[in-house]
Structure 1
Amino acid sequence: MSDTFDYIVVGAGTAGCVLANRLTEDGKSTVLLLEAGGSDLSIWIQMPIGYGRTFFDKRINWMYDTEAIEGLGGRSSYWPRGKVIGGSGSINAMVYVRGQPRDFDDWRAAGNTGWGWDDVLPFFTKSEDFDRYSAHHGRGGPQHVTEITPHVHPVCHSFIETAEGLGFPVTTDFNGNNPEGVGFYQINTRGGWRASTANAFLHPARRRKNLELRTKSQATRVLFEGSRAVGIEYRRGGKLHQVRARREVVLSGGAINSPQLLMLSGIGDGGALAQHGIGVQSHLPAVGCNLQDHLAVSYFYKVRTATLNDELHPLLGKAQAALRFAFDRRGPLSLSVNQSGGFVRSEKDAPNVDLQLYFSPVSYTKTPLAARKLLNPDPFSAFLLSFNPCRPTSRGHLELRSADPLAYPVIQPNYLSTEQDIAEVRAGNRLLRQIAASRPLADMITEELIPGPQVASEEDQLADFRARADTVYHPTGTCAMGPDAAVSVVDARLRVHGTEGLRVIDASIFPNITSGNTNAPTVMVAEKGAAMILEDARRR
């Protein structure tokens, strides 16, 4: 095995798989891809609905827990993150959402030249292989985007009809020219299998002789000569190894692992690093700050109409679904449970979309997250309605627990720490109840199981939100992009301030969280980041 490469990419997650593919396309540039986890060749990863089993599997999941959160009544929050080839894109619900155009225009307005909606749209379409022709989508790209509208459970149409009756627009494409409204989600699958960036970008590229993948290899620090990053130290098989990079080191560990590795390497707040006995390579106080995430709650409704529970709870139903999936890769096992939803304004006069809705034709009240068991559908007909504010204003942080690279970091999301976030939660609670009380959904509901009719007042609903709400698994922002090194970590070309030859390319660079699921924007960031690396190499 060689110990010197042109590029070293740390993390074979959503972004790292894209980078490994794009940086080796010329057949000449050598790339080492390091991954702390192992193989993604598991039926529970590759079968779309199998993520219910990977949710608590420590073999492929970091299984983080946050610190106690004041806004949630002192509860901590469980944060599953992928520790496997494909990263969190191997264990997520596969929902493909780019976000609202204003999300990226806000990035550009904050001083990040080249990151407005018109700038990033070509990189979204570059990665796509969309089901049908559309002026707003790509065809022939590596990652397939599937329209599930013909295959959604029938009760999802009742949700759309109900929301439309309340005056919300209906959109045929959350990623098209009219992303606002209610509709059906698109997902990253191909032929009934998960279309993670591992499957779409990495595995095809592994045939190239200029790409090397090393799994079970956890990076412990970035190596420097002066201000220039020249390599990585990593632990594999209980031993420390070092590898060198001729051109650049790229961190793609995500919103938890990338800032952690920077701090372990002496890049972060100098005072905090000194407390752990870590020498300061570069004083960047923003490393680990600006942590943002989507926080959601679900309302569970028992109904007189058949739902996915009726298909997937009985043993016979599971067997039939498995046989259908084996026969033609269709049926409920080929889909996500997040089948319909929307991006709406909580009030008609709200200036922008501020709530994301989810309608899932399934429920699992009998397996709460605290039990950390396989998510299993309830033995009765039910569905759930959920929402989260799109652009929370609360900001959390991440810091080292110790100088031990294997110690999990301290994660404090600081949820519900602003009045704006609390106001949006109140509005979302009202909206869910309004939808459930409107026809045709109201005609099929027999009982609100959770939180139940006893939670009636606005204050009771807010208290219920604090007691039950949890992450939507979208942590971002901990290595934020920006022009000012005092409040950001990377510049608009994703280079770490105050260093040479070191970039961060993953969801941690988001200056502000996007309005929706974060996997698709992370792919875009990786596509754009790879293009920047190659452009800079040509200039040199």
Structure 2
Amino acid sequence: MAPTSVETEEVYDYIICGGGTSGCVLAGRLAEDPNATILVLEAGPDSADLENVHMAGGWTKNFDAETDWNITTAPMKSLGDRSVKVSRGRLLGGSSGVNGTLCVRGTKQDYDDWEMEEWTGEKMFGYMAKAETFHPKPWFKEDPNVHGTSGPLHTEPHDLAPISELVKESMIDAGLPYIPDMFSTGEVPQGCGDVVRTVHQGIRSTAADFIIKGCRRDNTTIKTEMTVDRVLLEREDGELVARGVRVVEKRGRVVEFRARKEVVLSAGAYCSPAILMRSGIGPKDELGKQAIECQVDLPGVGKNLMDHVLCFIFYEVSKPHLTNDYLVYHDNAIASTYQLYQEKKSGILSTFPFGIFGYARLDERLADAPLWRDAPRGPGRDPMGLTPSQPNIEFWNTELYGGPKQFTDFPIDHKHAFALCTLMFNQHSRGSVALKSKDPLENPVVDHNYLDNPLDMLVLTEACRFANEIVVKGKGTRDVVKGSWPEHLAHHTHATREEWEPYVREHATTCYHASGTCAMGTPENKNAVLDTRLRVKGVRNLRVVDMSVVPKVNNGHTQMVAYGIGEGAAEIIKADAKAGKV
């Protein structure tokens, strides 16, 4: 992209490039210093008037629209050359405004495995709690020691649909005991429980709440529909220093903003590495292909891409009103359901249609698999690199037919269906993000390389077999499951791993937990992009603060991790400023 003219505008202390989850948290916390000035640049629109953001049940309407980055992966050989849509929120609040509202924190060991003093499990759980104000319900037995009470993020438990109560009974029957708040405490690798949601009184709470509503401050400037092209670098005394950013407005005008203290990239695992590469920071050979002069040769930029691979297994239910399909798909039910939400902020559209959740270890189930048995493992670790305190997989059920937008076999003919979802942790396969061109308005090339490692395929295949057994054999669900939806392998109770593998390869999809492409690391780690305080190697006054910084993705969902990274980054940046290390 070659702009004909560039206009220079205001100067701020901190420029945060990306108004997503971590970026909004960071902006809100830095703004607590009344003497600091903060600029938040967001590529998407303001979210204040976007009904399908605040109404959690409208989540799919945010995709394939201006509120979605609309990124699709390159064809992946490991999935039979399939491409997968990897939607991300492109709006103020980022993916916190379009995700599943789930607060699954993982285990403390997940963060201890990073081996960084600034990011221990104890500190990360503290950061996640700091972001939260938890609202209890009479039926839910929460652990008060792990929940926050004063953060801008409002959370509460989810009331289960009847099908979820039955799935819970089947999970317990399969050896996953019920422990209500296990996904907040992170202390149990095998069990089932309720997951707290980022919804309160029928309205989704997002990261934008850190800089709007009651947290809006005069020292914070928010500019939406502004796409960051690159960081403005200057050389001072032989050292590269970040002095601002170049931005493209929606109408095409190119603007530069200047930073007195720091530039912070918070554009996510796909876009933060792209901004670095357009700025001349990244793998030298790849930058050369785009005719970009290399300022800092950092081979790890755009590498180490991780996600949690997910499979939906659908079942038809023989009894009415166990699932919530009748409230959405049957006849004209959606009209009254929508009216209920508009009038009372209640009903199925006021929440996200996921039910009960479970964690499981697979040691015993995989003991007879030669690949598992003979795989190398570290001391006290399984072949996936996990300790006995960390789960291999996660299960949860949908409370009606639904999921990613490719699932379109809606039960409009008065049928009822749900899915049991299977998520794999700590995958070995790694993907990449690369530039397609220098144009900041063109999405990067994303290759997740899902299930490329044979151990990943083995674990996810066995996990799907386990999920199917829970539903088909479990005492809560076995008498109400009529068959699979639509027809596939799910109704077979004795299928081998080899028989399940083609299904897994065909149906594996993203859980929207992209991470790791600007990973932190110690000085001896040549592939690390950042130091342990989130500073870009070789450049002063430039940091990255989002899920791209994690060296290894947690064994849970990433929403609360993104909040925790924002909270932790704010403390680090404040401490460095106080110590004169800016």
TM-score over 0.5 (shorter chain): yes
From 511, 514, 538, give the equivalent of 2:551. 511
SS of 2:531's equivalent in the other structure is coil
User: Where does 1:418-437 land on structure 2 (aligned, <5 Å)?
Assistant: 418-437=453-472
Select the residue among 423, 434, 441 that pairs with 1:406: 441
Q: CA deviation at 1:160?
A: 0.9
Q: In the aligned structure 2, how far is the partner of 1:209 from the partner of 1:369?
A: 40
Task: Map residues 285-434 of structure 1 onto 2, 5 A cutoff.
Answer: 285-305=299-319, 306=321, 307-348=323-364, 351=388, 352-364=390-402, 369-370=405-406, 378-379=412-413, 380-434=415-469
**1:400–1:409 CA contact under 8 A, matched in 2:** yes
Aligned partner of residue 39 in structure 2, secondary structure: strand
Deviation at 1:376, TM superposition (A): 5.7
Deviation at 1:290, TM superposition (A): 0.3
The yes-or-no answer on 1:526 pairing with 2:561 is no
Kept in 1, the 8 Å contact 2:55–2:203? The answer is: yes
Q: Which moved more, 1:452-461 or 1:467-476?
A: 452-461
> Contact 1:185/1:338 (CA < 8 Å) preserved in 2?
no
1:25 corresponds to 2:32? yes
SS at match of 1:3: strand
CA contact (8 A) 1:192 1:334 kept: yes
Tell me if the contact between 2:168 and 2:476 (Cα under 8 Å) persists in the aligned partners. Answer: no
Q: Residues of 2 paired with 1:285 and 1:443: CA distance? A: 55
Residue by residue over 1:374-425, the C-alpha shift from the partner in whole angstroms, topping out at 9 and shown as x without a partner, is x966541111111011111111111111122222111111111112211211
**Aligned with 2:229 (options 220, 223, 246):** 220
In the other structure, the counterpart of 1:67 is 74
- In structure 1, distance between residues paired with 2:229 and 2:153: 31
For the Cα contact (< 8 Å) 1:136–1:177, is it kept in 2? Answer: no
Tell me how far apart the structure 2 counterparts of residues 376 and 435 of structure 1 sit (CA, whole Å). 24
Q: 2:59 aligns with which of 30, 37, 51?
A: 51
> In structure 2, what is the equivalent of residue 240 of structure 1?
254
- Distance in 2 separating the partners of 1:315 and 1:54: 24
Indicate yes or no: 2:471 matched with 1:461. Answer: no
In structure 2, give the amino acid aligned to 1:489: V
Aligned length: 529
Kindly tell me: are residues 229 and 485 of structure 1, through their superposed partners in 2, closer, same or farther at Cα, counting changes over 3 Å? farther
Displacement after TM superposition at 1:288 (Å)? 0.3
Q: Kindly indicate whether the alpha-carbon contact (under 8 Å) linking 2:483 and 2:491 is maintained by their aligned counterparts in 1.
A: no
Name the CA shift for 1:519/1:34 in 2 (closer, same or farther; >3 Å): same
> 2:3 maps to which residue?
none
Aligned twin of 1:496: 536
Instruction: Determine the C-alpha separation between the residues in 1 that align with 2:435 and 2:53.
Output: 30
The residue type paired with residue 51 of structure 1 is W
Change (3 A) 1:44 1:399: same
Question: What is the CA–CA distance in structure 2 between the aligned matches of 1:240 and 1:177, rounded to whole Å?
Answer: 46
Measure, in 2, the Cα distance between the counterparts of 1:204 and 1:311: 32
- Alpha carbons of 1:427 and 1:457: their partners in 2 closer, same or farther (altered >3 Å)? closer
Assess, with a 3 A threshold, how the Cα gap between structure 1 residues 471 and 297 changes in structure 2: closer, same or farther.
Answer: same
Are 2:484 and 2:491, in contact at CA under 8 Å, matched by a contact in 1?
A: no
- Is the CA contact 1:485–1:497 (under 8 Å) kept in the aligned structure 2? no
Instruction: Return closer, same or farther for 1:353/1:324 CA change in 2, 3 Å cut-off.
Output: same
CA-CA distance at 1:206 after TM superposition: 6.7
- Tell me the distance in 1 between the aligned counterparts of 2:122 and 2:225: 39
Alignment of 1:471-486 (within 5 A): 471-483=510-522, 484=524, 486=526
Q: CA deviation at 1:315?
A: 4.5
Partner Cα separation in structure 1 for residue 166 and residue 32 of structure 2: 46
CA contact (8 A) 2:330 2:412 kept: no
Q: Contact 2:102–2:197 at 8 Å: present in 1 too?
A: yes
Q: Which stretches in structure 2 are left out of the alignment for 5+ residues?
A: 1-7, 137-142, 366-381, 383-387
Q: Deviations over 1:225-279 (max 9, x none)?
A: 1111000000112111111000000000000010000000000001111121101
Letter in 2 for 1:325: Y
- Structure 2 CA distance for partners of 1:303 and 1:402, relative to 1, 3 Å: same
Is the Cα–Cα contact under 8 Å of residues 313 and 490 in structure 2 kept in the other structure? no
Partner AA of 2:248 in structure 1? R
Deviates most, 476-485 or 502-511 = 476-485
Measure the CA separation in 2 of the matches of 1:102 and 1:171: 19
Identity over the aligned pairs, expressed in percent? Answer: 32
Letter in 2 for 1:35: E
TM superposition shift of 1:509: 0.5
TM-score between both structures, scaled by the size of structure 2: 0.88
Q: Is 1:88 paired with 2:102?
A: no
Aligned match of 1:176: 185
Any conservation in 2 of the 1:156–1:361 contact (CA below 8 Å)?
A: yes
Distance 1:209 1:141 in 2: 20
The answer on whether the counterparts of 1:205 and 1:211 sit within 8 Å (CA) in structure 2 is: no
Distance in 1, matches of 2:566 and 2:476, equals: 43
TM-score (normalised: structure 1): 0.94
Deviations 1:32-85 (A, max 9, x none): 1111111212111110111021132x2111110110101101101101111111
Whole-angstrom CA distance in 1 between matches of 2:354 and 2:361: 20
Code of the residue aligned with 2:467 in structure 1: it is L
Q: Which residue of 1 aligns with 2:153?
A: 143
Question: Which stretch shifts more, 376-385 or 470-479?
Answer: 376-385
Q: Which deviates further from its counterpart, 446-455 or 34-43?
A: 446-455
Contact preservation (8 Å) 1:7, 1:31: yes
Instruction: Give the aligned partner of residue 283 of structure 2.
Output: 269
Structure 1 Cα separation of the partners of residues 412 and 88 of structure 2: 25
- Name the amino acid aligned to 1:506: D
In the TM superposition, residue 449 of structure 1 has moved relative to its aligned partner by 2.3
**Residue in 1 that maps onto 2:485:** 449
User: Which residues of 2 match residues 120-199 of structure 1 at below 5 A?
Assistant: 120-132=124-136, 134-148=144-158, 151-173=159-181, 174-176=183-185, 178-180=187-189, 181-198=191-208
Contact 2:417-2:485 at 8 Å conserved across structures: no
| Aligned-residue offset at 1:346 | 2.3
Q: Is 447-456 or 469-478 further displaced after alignment?
A: 447-456
Secondary structure at the aligned position of 1:298 is classed as: strand
Distance 1:528 1:276 in 2: 35
2:212 counterpart (200, 203, 216): 203
Q: Indicate conservation of the 8 Å contact 1:258/1:504, yes or no.
A: yes
User: How far has the Cα of 1:468 moved from its partner?
Assistant: 1.3
Please give the secondary structure, in 1, of the residue aligned with 2:485: strand
Partner of 2:371: none
Moved more, 173-182 or 301-310: 173-182
Q: Residue 493 of structure 1 contacts residue 532 of structure 1 at CA under 8 Å; is this kept in 2?
A: yes
The Cα of 1:488 is off from its aligned counterpart by 0.9
Deviations 1:186-245 (A, max 9, x none): 1101221010111x2121367422111111110101001111100000011211111100
Q: Deviations over 1:275-307 (max 9, x none)?
A: 211011111000000000111111111112221
CA distance in 1, matches of 2:552, 2:51: 35
Cα distance in 2 for partners of 1:300, 1:323 equals: 29
* Distance in 1 between residues matched to 2:490 and 2:455, nearest whole Å: 26
Cα 1:507–1:37 shift into 2, 3 Å:
same
